[in-house]
Chains A and B, each alone.
Chain A
Amino acid sequence: MLEFTVAGFLLLALIFYAVTGGADSGGGMWDLLASGPRAEKQRRAIAKAIGPIWEANHVWLILVVVVLFTAFPRAFAAIMTALYIPVTLMLIGVIFRGSAFIFRKYDSRAENVQNRWSTLFGAASFFTPFVQGVTLGALATGQIRVEHGTLTSGFLAGWLTPFAFLCGVFALGLCSFLAATYMTNDTREQQDVQNDFRLRALCSGAALGPIALAAFLVAKTGAPEIFAGLTQWWALPLIGLTICLALVALASLWWRKFSLARFAAIGTATLVLAGWSLAQFPYLIVPDVTIPNAAAPAITLRLLLIALIAGSAILLPSLYFLFYIFKGDEAAGSESREKV
């Protein structure tokens, strides 16, 4: 039971990473795609929105990794060996996304310098979630084989498949949708910029549907375990609920209920990841590595669980404080006062 609880925490951290860090990547994408007469305003709004929080959001990724190797060391060793190449590529993306963003902020204001960093930041923001999607997708393909504790499938298995690539594309869509939806909330003071992001949120949200459908169909041969999971009896209401929430998000964007749209978008992302992990349950790497067979001894798991709970007791209020200061309604209010 213990190992499943820790796995639950792992999933939770992954979801947090997707809806915060993933959205920051989405912000980078919209930075690169900024266009029209208000391109510069869009860029500035994005930088302002993610500036204070992106580093904290990024730590979720580190938490996912450390919990994974503490609680499921066998799975960690296998993943890092089998997916050596995509994980390395992802790290390169992580490095350039973070450093380009901060370098842009502190480097010269000259236009060509700023544009160079923006391009690097934006390109890395596309690249990173795509490779992350591919990496996660690869785990479900069933092509990564670990027999008698040794990896037998080489370094190219799993991630060079259509299913994994579709997962990458889906990650791109999800991140950009989340980011654009959040940005409609962050730009309440500038109606024209808000309209730009509303349009972007609607487009990227609408694109998610076909991508998800394609991934589902490809899964039939590309990731049979997922396909089998998603066609079980419990999956239908879950998928239905996910679709409903996505529609609620789109509808509230349409009717300019941006606050509601944000919650619905977060809910959609959460359900997608939860549904996925349920479909893959109990496998960490299909078909050889499961939550029980990769788990660390009970004493490690118990202590880790205590650490996770105690850590959350510090973490969650701090995070709330951070978001309250920079994202709360009061913050928006004080901002408008500052401007006046």
Chain B
Amino acid sequence: MGMSLGFHIIFAALGIGMPLLMVIAEGTYLRTRKPVYLELAKRWARGSAILFAVGAVSGTVLSFELGLLWPGFMEKAGAIIGMPFSLEGFAFFTEAIFLGVYLSGWNRLPPFLHWISGVLVVIGGVMSAVFVVTANAWMNAPTGFKIVDGKITDIDPIAAMLNQGSLHQVLHMVLAAFIATGFSVAAVHAFLLLRDNRIAFHRNALAIALLVGGISVPLQIWSGDLSARTVARIQPAKLAAMEATYRTQNGAPILIGGIPNDDARTADYAITIPRGLSILAMRDPGAKITGLEEFSRSDWPNVRLVHWSFDIMVASGFALLALSIAAGWLWWRRRGLPDRRWFLCSLVAAGPLGFIAIEAGWMVTELGRQPWIIYGVMRTQEAVTPMRGIAVPFALFTVVYLFLAFMVVYLLRREFMKTAEPGNARLPTHA
């Protein structure tokens, strides 16, 4: 399941982000009537089509896997948290329908209607993410039910959907999708511009992708701060693991890196920012932060993995922030797309950062919740399928997913390389 999700999350993120790029490109075309934007929209639409198809099948697999792997979880949680999944079904329908219209309707619809169907694809994609992440947030902040004598009663699906974790997780995920897509697409076009920086097609592509990614990053830092504060309130054990904070203390520091040691209850070799955590989580340099020692050892997540994943996510985020600021500054100073070699090179290098951050962030939220599948209510162990030998399907799906990933990369490469062929409009030397 984790593997399927780890795979799906990338395609889902691209499935949300790519249509946005494609719609912006077509919208720009409708306004400026420059054919290069139309070409760009069409090319990105083809990319979206491949990604969406793979996202759709991996999403199908996931909806079944909920039951295949966690029948115990679904039996209890289905009635409480099935709502957002059902709504997600409809959002996904909208996305699929209008993507079909968009992809095959270039000549069948008036341009404006065609663009609108693209916009609906974006909305459908974002709504899908909202609903699915809502369900995940509930696992972190379970509400909307009571447990009486071990039985679940008084179910309130609406309250479950509006749980305390939803808002920050949804914001964080949707922005992450825009960032990851923006910077990975920017990396591809930056790479092609390194070969020849006058191809108008790639220059325009880079501009749009960079804009989407660059605007989302500062928002993401803000939403990350919101997340940290929420987690501090509702899942103190997770926050403690993220920061490898073993002891309860006033004015807790932020620890960066290091090797958390569960037995000694210290993080060795970490860089320390005094009082940082108290400020971050509570807005008060002297605030008390609950350490892992308050929890029974059997309720600890894997501190090392959670702490490291968290640091990787934050580091990727700030690297992208630096790059966005640099891009904005260069853009403003030169009144044009930054195309210095060093800048393009660093964009290429930063291409995967968005996805690394997504995967790491997802590890933080999932591993940080362990050993619970529903935080404080049900342990993962109680939910797992009684099926023996699940290593076999696990290996099988891994191979299948690797194959899919390979094919997608191969086909996308084909799509983008085609644009490097001659015949593309070039700007006059020294644009």
Task: Pick the contact of A303: B57, B157, B385, B414 (CB < 8 A).
Answer: B157
List, in ascending order, chain B residues with CB within 8 A of A155's CB: 387
List, in ascending order, chain B residues with CB within 8 A of A331's CB: 108
A56 to B97, CA, bound (A): 5
Q: List 18 A-B contacts (CB under 8 A).
A: A52-B104, A55-B56, A56-B93, A63-B86, A70-B82, A76-B67, A76-B71, A80-B74, A92-B400, A99-B54, A102-B49, A106-B414, A299-B155, A300-B157, A311-B86, A311-B93, A321-B101, A322-B97
Whether the pair A307, B71 counts as a contact (CB closer than 8 A) is no
Task: Pick the contact of B89: A59, A92, A103 (CB < 8 A).
Answer: A59
Number of interface residues of B (CB under 8 A): 65
List, in ascending order, chain A residues with CB within 8 A of B32's CB: none
Scan residues 66-94 of chain B and give those whose CB is less than 8 A from a CB of chain A: 66-68, 71-72, 74-80, 82-83, 85-90, 92-94
List, in ascending order, chain B residues with CB within 8 A of A338's CB: 107
A8 CB–B CB distance under 8 Å: no
Question: Which residue of chain B has the shortest Cβ distance to A79 in the bound complex?
Answer: B67
A334 to B404, CA, bound (A): 36
B354 CB–A CB distance under 8 Å: no
B60 CB–A CB distance under 8 Å: yes
A65 to B63, CA, bound (A): 7
From A67, A80, A92, A331, name the one whose CB has the most chain B CB atoms within 10 angstroms: A80
Whether the pair A304, B78 counts as a contact (CB closer than 8 A) is no
Question: Which residue of chain B has the shortest Cβ distance to A57 in the bound complex?
Answer: B96
Task: Pick the contact of B415: A88, A96, A106, A321 (CB < 8 A).
Answer: A106
A236 to chain B, nearest CB (A): 37
Interface of B is mostly: helix
Question: Which residue of chain A has the shortest Cβ distance to B383 in the bound complex?
Answer: A77
Interface positions of A (Cβ within 8 A of B): 51-53, 55-56, 58-59, 61-63, 65-67, 69-74, 76-81, 84, 87-88, 91-92, 94-96, 98-99, 101-103, 105-108, 151, 155, 296-297, 299-300, 303-304, 307-308, 311, 314-315, 318-319, 321-322, 325-326, 331, 334, 338
Mark each residue of chain B from 42 to 65: 1 if its CB lies under 8 Å from any CB of chain A, else 0: 000010011011101111110111
List, in ascending order, chain A residues with CB within 8 A of B414's CB: 106-108
B386 CB–A CB distance under 8 Å: yes
A321 to B109, CA, bound (A): 11
**Interchain residue pairs A-B with the least CB separation, the first 8:** A70-B82, A73-B78, A80-B67, A296-B79, A311-B90, A77-B71, A77-B75, A102-B53
Question: Which residue of chain B has the shortest Cβ distance to A303 in the bound complex?
Answer: B157
Interface of A is mostly: helix
Interface positions of B (Cβ within 8 A of A): 46, 49-50, 52-54, 56-61, 63-68, 71-72, 74-80, 82-83, 85-90, 92-94, 96-101, 103-105, 107-109, 155-158, 385-387, 393, 396, 400, 404, 407, 411, 414-415
Whether the pair A73, B50 counts as a contact (CB closer than 8 A) is no
Whether the pair B75, A91 counts as a contact (CB closer than 8 A) is no
Whether the pair A84, B387 counts as a contact (CB closer than 8 A) is yes
A101 to B407, CA, bound (A): 12
7 other A-B residue contacts (CB within 8 Å) besides A66-B63, A72-B78, A319-B97: A55-B96, A66-B82, A95-B404, A296-B79, A296-B155, A314-B90, A325-B109
Whether the pair A81, B86 counts as a contact (CB closer than 8 A) is no
Task: Pick the contact of A67: B49, B71, B77, B86 (CB < 8 A).
Answer: B86
B14 to chain A, nearest CB (A): 14
List, in ascending order, chain A residues with CB within 8 A of B93's CB: 56, 59, 63, 311, 315, 318-319
List, in ascending order, chain A residues with CB within 8 A of B80's CB: 300
A247 to B393, CA, bound (A): 43
A299 to B72, CA, bound (A): 21
A103 to B85, CA, bound (A): 28
A317 to chain B, nearest CB (A): 10
List, in ascending order, chain A residues with CB within 8 A of B65's CB: 91
Whether the pair A61, B82 counts as a contact (CB closer than 8 A) is no
